[in-house]
Chain A
């Protein structure tokens, strides 16, 4: 035997392998393997019901047909949004009542212990109320939206969405799988950033990361839904009201998709230039999901997630907001000072200083934007639990809101920078401060531009 002295034996081995190999080796290897599996299947598999084998293909002829493909997709989206809106109201208010009831006892307990007012303020009015708001507003829609979504996913519908939409993504220079990461974004943008790993090309993955924020996540659904039902569907009652609300929310979603495609297109012509890489998409057979298992698992997973988020993100933000709203300089709170400073700029966007401040303080979690806003308006110094939707709308109207303010807030919510968790994930995944900054600045710029234009156009047309 030769002693293993340099040159490196591994290099030698590779060289001798390369001298033997030719361009067709892979093809020959795979062909042999396929022939082997065909031969094995030939001996071990028999087909008895021909007609059953093609069920999936028959369904696909409807779900992805020229005529019905897009209408069915839109209808499904509408139904999911409708059910979420219609179903979340009652459990939300029940949870809110429950938390209010507990709060009464907490306050009693603090009084019994002769705890100082500021401690009660921070812990109960700040921390507890903030967390309770997030849980009661977030949990019910999540507990409805995610199981329905998981059912569609397990049934095998999502790859069909990617199949239908592929052409749109291709012509905007993005990867076809971006529609799948966007679907994740409806739940949570932070999780969706992780899911962009399914896109292997770095350029297209970056596109997917930078634009994911334009699909509204769970933290923004409540804002969209609430404002839509208060201001856009104001003239309707009962089932019609829910329907109109769902319609408005859905237009927001569609607008987000248009922005996604446009931004991807612009980026792939400029900063992220390149042609879309090719890919293959498997359309797995439709399978009836285990309905109960899917619902339980999706609900459990998401509920745990919401609770964790409420504790880790919303709670500290709630404390901060309480502090800002309670420390006075002169006779005004810090919160009010900040809002006044932002007001002139915010007015240009059809918003006001408090709204903009709420978005800024809501950076850690979109969920707390509305509660912070209400707190600012009422300057009670604590997050408010408003007992009825009517009084909620009255608060907004008292602060000079019109439908344009609501529309702008919805647009800003849809388009503005991603939440803190998402930004952290973007940094973790891209390992680049530059791109993390772009993922913050780009949506913010778009949000400002769109709200500004909307305001100017509406005022110019004299619609108000």
Chain B
């Protein structure tokens, strides 16, 4: 799989769904992300940005978790379309 074809999670817009393929993060942060459900193969939905633009809240594994751009720009995967409006 080449990185060029993969999108970054930080580029997905609110309302968009995203399937994680690779985490380009190491150490404790990677383990923490895995524990929270940012696991390759899993789907996350972008919920919204904080009032100041960063961090961004994601729905992952039926919970809401906020990530800063430092993390979300290193999570690669596929943008798989918009969520049906709620």
| A–B touching in complex (CB under 8 Å) | yes
Taking a contact as CB atoms under 8 Å apart, the answer to whether A64 and B57 are in contact is yes
Which residues between 42 and 73 of chain B lie within 8 Å of chain A, taking CB atoms? 42, 47-55, 57, 59, 61, 63-68, 70-71
Q: When chains A and B are docked, how far (Å) is the Cα of A280 from the Cα of B51?
A: 17
Chain A residues at the B interface, C-beta cutoff of 8 Å: 26-27, 30-31, 34-35, 51, 54, 56-58, 60-61, 64-67, 69-70, 163-164, 166-168, 170, 176, 278-285
User: Chain A residues near B65 (CB, 8 Å)?
Assistant: 280-283
Q: In the complex, which residues of chain B have a beta carbon less than 8 angstroms from the beta carbon of A284?
A: 63-64
Contact B30 A280 (CB under 8 A): no
From known contacts A26-B30, A60-B64, A280-B32, infer whether A164 and B51 are also in contact, taking CB-CB under 8 Å.
yes
A280 to B35, CA, bound (A): 11
The residue of chain A having its C-beta at the shortest distance from the C-beta of B55 within the complex is: A166
Contact status A280-B64, CB under 8 Å = no
Q: Which of A34, A65, A280 contacts B66 (CB 8 A)?
A: A280
Report the interface size class on chain B. 35 or more
Asked if residues A163 and B50 are in contact (CB atoms below 8 Å), the reply is yes
Cβ contact within 8 Å between A61 and B48? yes
Interface centre among B29, B32, B57, B61 (most CB of A within 10 A): B57
Give complex CA distance A281, B29 in Å: 12
Most buried by B among A31, A67, A284: A31
Given the complex, which residues of A lie within 8 Å of B82, measured CB to CB?
none
Contact A283:B66 (CB < 8 A) given known A64-B57, A166-B55: yes
Q: How far is the CA of A283 from the CA of B66 in the complex (A)?
A: 7
Contacts of A56 in B (CB 8 A): 64
Tell whether, in the assembled complex, residue A166 and residue B86 are in contact, meaning their CB atoms are under 8 Å apart. Answer: no
9 contacts between A and B (CB under 8 A): A34-B42, A35-B41, A51-B86, A66-B49, A66-B51, A164-B50, A278-B68, A283-B57, A283-B64
Decide: B35 and A30 in contact? CB cutoff 8 A: yes
Q: How far is the CB of A273 from chain B (nearest CB, A)?
A: 18
Contact call A280/B67, Cβ cutoff below 8 A: yes
Report how far A67 CA is from B49 CA in the complex, Å. 12
- In the complex, the chain A residue whose C-beta lies closest to that of B35 is A30
Tell whether B39 is near chain A: CB-to-CB under 8 Å.
yes
Whether A278 contacts B41 by the Cβ 8 Å rule is no
**Cβ contact within 8 Å between B67 and A168:** no
Point out the residues of chain A lying under 8 angstroms from B10, CB to CB. none
Contact A26 B67 (CB under 8 A): no
Q: Which residue of A lies closest to B54 (CB)?
A: A167
Instruction: Name which of B35, B41, B55, B59 has the most chain A CB atoms within 10 A of its CB.
Output: B55
Could you tell me the distance between the alpha carbons of A123 and B63 in the complex, rounded to whole angstroms? 57
Quick one: given A26-B30, A26-B34, A281-B65, are A69 and B41 in contact (CB under 8 Å)? no
Q: B59 to A57, Cβ gap below 8 A?
A: yes
Contact of B50 among A27, A57, A64, A279 (CB under 8 A): A64
A56, A65, A278: most-surrounded residue (chain B CB, <10 A): A278
- A70 CA to B53 CA, complexed, in Å: 13
Chain B residues within an 8 Å CB radius of A163: 50, 55, 57, 66
Q: Which 5 residue pairs spanning A and B have beta carbons closest together?
A: A69-B51, A167-B52, A283-B64, A30-B34, A281-B66
Q: Is B33 in the interface zone, CB < 8 Å from A?
A: yes
Report the separation of the CA atoms of residues A35 and B35 in the bound assembly, to the nearest whole angstrom.
Answer: 13
**B71 x A278 contact (CB < 8 A):** yes
B53-A167 in contact (CB<8A): yes
B23 at the A interface (CB under 8 A): yes
Known: A26-B30, A64-B57, A170-B68. 19 other contacts (CB 8 A): A26-B34, A30-B34, A31-B40, A56-B64, A60-B64, A64-B48, A64-B50, A64-B51, A65-B51, A167-B52, A167-B54, A176-B68, A279-B68, A281-B65, A282-B36, A283-B57, A283-B64, A283-B66, A285-B64
Distance, CA A190 to CA B44, complexed state (A): 40
**Residues of A close to B48: CB separation below 8 A:** 60-61, 64-65
Q: Closest A residue to B34 by CB, please name it.
A: A30
Query: Do the beta carbons of B39 and A34 come within 8 Å of each other?
Result: yes
Nearest-CB residue, chain A, relative to B41: A31
Which residue of B29, B30, B50, B61 contacts A167 across the interface (Cβ within 8 Å)?
B50
A81 to chain B, nearest CB (A): 22
A61 to B50, CA, bound (A): 10
